[in-house]
């Protein structure tokens, strides 16, 4: 159960649609979150600084009044007391006025009057500094403002102007509540959250829609390929939305084309095989039927017809053997029985076997080798390939002709050429001679006993050795086949 769920989730994570969905969501969400928190932070800083400068201005004015009314030594001034009350209620805060002896002369809360207050902020303020502290946990702003008096100092030097100086007479310690800022921030945050929610819903919608739209062409490709798979055979699959899908389709169409070629050649091969196998049987039937139909057939005719039937059986046998070799080559394409083989000896053996056949028509079979060659080959397969070439050299030759087999090698390849001075191959036939069942002159070839499979077998075998085969021929003058095979077998 858990495993199944895991596989299902794994599938979802691997899906392009899901990934596009996530990317769009992330790309939308991250900026909106940054914006949300950035705006709130910025607002808080700005609100605090506005509040600070506003309060500071107010208290500077108050400080001047305190000096004017000499409030630090006498706190009975109704005007100042009223002003203090007004300010502390306006800012929902507390004001302490401290004189030069660090004595609290006035506390709007009336708690600390007469007490001494010495703190770092107060000392710094006595040195003329405006100290501001923001306590964001308890939500208040603490300001310590110096109460300064301007004094004119005449240094007694006539040439110089009297110097205007400020002397700190006391300090004001003020706590101002910042609840309003917090309330505004909460309001702002709520609105931003609502906006973010709406944006999220819209984003999810867009991401969902886009992930579908963007992936749709790939699904179209799959559907089109499935149609072909299910048998709706079209020449080409026509999906062209993206360059990428176009590439997939192009590759698929190419594959389809190659499959079609293969399919066609398979069908052609099957029909050729049936035709080739049927021909000798048809002849045998005609021969047998004509014998049966006649009464008192002379023994000579019997003998003649029976010889013909035996020839047809021989031919049928040859076709079947060639076909079996070909099928075996296809089947065992990967199974090469590679070993080090003395190629000179291999060629000698082939020629020894074929010389008696050549001798019947007085054809000379010559072997010319420039060096000893040992190579990594499949002996059985290579023997078959070269035998076919030499056999052809004998078959398609004139009486008293010759077949010359030469062997040479460089550091990479060995080269076998099979040359004859026989019938030659017409120019237009050369490109077809490796096709299965192809014969230049059907009737003549039949007389000679060809099946049209020999060169197909030879070429497959040479290609399996990663070699190449080439032919040069002139009609009426002769033919030369050149086979080039690597000395060391290259396994793919």
Note the residues at the interface with ligand ADP (CB under 6 A). Answer: 388, 392-393, 396, 420, 422-425, 433, 438-440, 445, 450-456, 479
Partnered with residue 482 across adjacent β-strands are 417, 470
- Residue identified by tokens 């065992």 is 332
Smallest distance, Å, CB 10 to ligand ADP?
Answer: 55
**In what order do the strands lie in the sheet containing 104-107?**
104-107, 93-99, 163-177, 140-153, 131-135
User: Helical H runs in 143-298?
Assistant: 179-229, 243-293
Smallest distance, Å, CB 453 to ligand ADP?
Answer: 6
Nearer to ligand ADP, 107 or 420 (CB): 420
Smallest distance, Å, CB 474 to ligand ADP?
Answer: 10
The structure tokens listed for 142 are 């603490």
Smallest distance, Å, CB 420 to ligand ADP?
Answer: 5
Smallest distance, Å, CB 367 to ligand ADP?
Answer: 17
The structure tokens listed for 100 are 């030069």
Nearer to ligand ADP, 256 or 456 (CB): 456
Smallest distance, Å, CB 454 to ligand ADP?
Answer: 3
Nearer to ligand ADP, 87 or 425 (CB): 425
Query: Looking at beta carbons, which residue is closest to ligand ADP?
Result: 450
Q: Are 434 and 459 in contact, with CB atoms under 8 Å apart?
A: yes
Nearer to ligand ADP, 69 or 438 (CB): 438
Smallest distance, Å, CB 467 to ligand ADP?
Answer: 18
Of the candidates 382, 355, 384, 379, the one whose C-alpha atom is nearest the C-alpha of residue 367 is 355
Smallest distance, Å, CB 310 to ligand ADP?
Answer: 20
Nearer to ligand ADP, 346 or 385 (CB): 385
Q: Provide φ and ψ at 139, rounded to 5°.
A: 55, 55
Partnered with residue 175 across adjacent β-strands are 94, 142
Task: Determine the number of helices (DSSP H) and then strands (DSSP E) in the chain.
Answer: 11, 12
Angle at 114 between CA 110 and CA 115, to 5 degrees: 95
165 DSSP assignment:
E
Q: Are 483 and 462 in contact, with CB atoms under 8 Å apart?
A: yes
- Residue identified by tokens 């007004």 is 86
Nearer to ligand ADP, 170 or 454 (CB): 454
Sign of the alpha-carbon torsion through 123, 128, 134, 139: positive
452 DSSP assignment:
S
Nearer to ligand ADP, 169 or 439 (CB): 439
- For strands 364-369 and 402-409, give the pairing: parallel
Smallest distance, Å, CB 396 to ligand ADP?
Answer: 3
Of the candidates 324, 273, 305, 325, the one whose C-alpha atom is nearest the C-alpha of residue 459 is 325
Nearer to ligand ADP, 330 or 410 (CB): 330
Nearer to ligand ADP, 125 or 479 (CB): 479
């Amino acid at each position: 159960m858990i495993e199944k769920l895991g596989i299902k989730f794994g599938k979802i994570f691997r899906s392009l649609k899901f990934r596009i969905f996530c990317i769009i969501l992330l790309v939308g969400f991250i900026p909106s979150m940054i914006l949300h928190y950035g705006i709130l932070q910025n607002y808080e800083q700005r609100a605090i600084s506005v509040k600070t400068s506003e309060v500071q201005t107010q208290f500077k004015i108050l400080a001047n009044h305190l000096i004017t009314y000499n409030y630090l030594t006498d706190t009975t001034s109704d005007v100042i007391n009223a002003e203090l009350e007004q300010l502390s209620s306006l800012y929902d805060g507390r004001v302490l006025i401290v004189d030069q002896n660090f004595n609290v002369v006035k506390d709007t809360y009336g708690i600390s009057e007469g007490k001494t207050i010495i703190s770092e902020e107060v000392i710094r303020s006595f040195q003329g500094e405006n100290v501001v502290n923001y306590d964001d946990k308890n939500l208040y702003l603490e300001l310590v403002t110096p109460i300064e008096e301007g004094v004119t100092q005449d240094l007694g030097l006539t040439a110089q102007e009297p110097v205007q100086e400020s002397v700190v007479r006391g300090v004001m310690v003020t706590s101002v509540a910042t609840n309003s800022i917090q309330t505004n921030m909460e309001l702002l945050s709520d609105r931003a959250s609502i906006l973010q929610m709406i944006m999220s819903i819209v984003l999810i919608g867009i991401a969902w829609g886009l992930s579908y739209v963007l992936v749709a062409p790939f699904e179209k490709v799959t559907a089109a390929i499935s149609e072909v798979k299910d048998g709706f055979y079209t020449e080409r699959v026509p999906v062209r939305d993206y360059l990428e899908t176009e590439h997939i389709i192009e590759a698929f169409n190419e594959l389809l084309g190659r499959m079609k070629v293969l399919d066609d050649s398979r069908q052609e091969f099957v029909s050729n095989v049936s035709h080739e196998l049927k021909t000798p049987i048809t002849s045998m039937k005609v021969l047998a039927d004509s014998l049966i139909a006649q009464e008192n057939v002379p023994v000579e005719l019997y003998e003649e017809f029976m010889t013909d039937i035996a020839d047809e059986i021989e031919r049928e046998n040859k076709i079947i053997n060639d076909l079996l070799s070909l099928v075996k080559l296809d089947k065992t394409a990967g199974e090469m029985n590679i070993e080090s083989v003395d190629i000179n000896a291999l060629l000698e053996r082939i020629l020894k076997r074929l010389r008696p056949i050549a001798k019947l028509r007085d054809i000379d079979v010559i072997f010319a080798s420039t060096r000893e060659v040992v190579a990594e080959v499949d002996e059985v397969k290579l023997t078959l390939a070269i035998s076919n070439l030499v056999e052809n050299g004998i078959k398609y030759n004139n009486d008293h002709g010759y077949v010359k087999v030469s062997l040479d090698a460089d550091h990479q390849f060995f080269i076998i050429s099979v040359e004859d001075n026989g019938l030659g191959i017409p120019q237009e036939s050369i490109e077809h001679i490796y096709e299965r069942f192809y014969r230049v002159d059907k009737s003549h070839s039949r007389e000679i006993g060809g099946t049209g499979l020999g060169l197909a077998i030879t070429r497959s075998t040479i290609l399996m050795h990663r070699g190449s085969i080439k032919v040069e021929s002139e009609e009426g003058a002769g033919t030369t086949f050149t086979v080039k095979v690597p000395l060391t077998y290259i396994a793919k």
